[in-house]
Amino acid sequence: MICVECGSLKIENRELKLCGTCNKFRRKVDMVKLPEDPKPIAKVSDVQSKLLQKYAQLKKKFMLNRWCAYHGKPCLPTDIHHSAGRVGVDENGVPMLLATQYFVPVCRIAHQYIEEHPKWAKENGFSENRLLSKASKEEEI
pLDDT in tens, 60-99: 999 998 999 988 888 899 999 999 988 888 888 899 999 9
Is the pLDDT score of 57 beyond 50? Answer: yes
Give the pLDDT score at 135: 47
Domain chopping of the chain, boundaries: 1-35, 46-140
Is the pLDDT score of 102 beyond 80? Answer: yes
Q: Structure pTM? A: 0.63
Give the pLDDT score at 117: 93
How many Cα atoms sit within 13 Å of 30 on the Cβ side?
Answer: 6
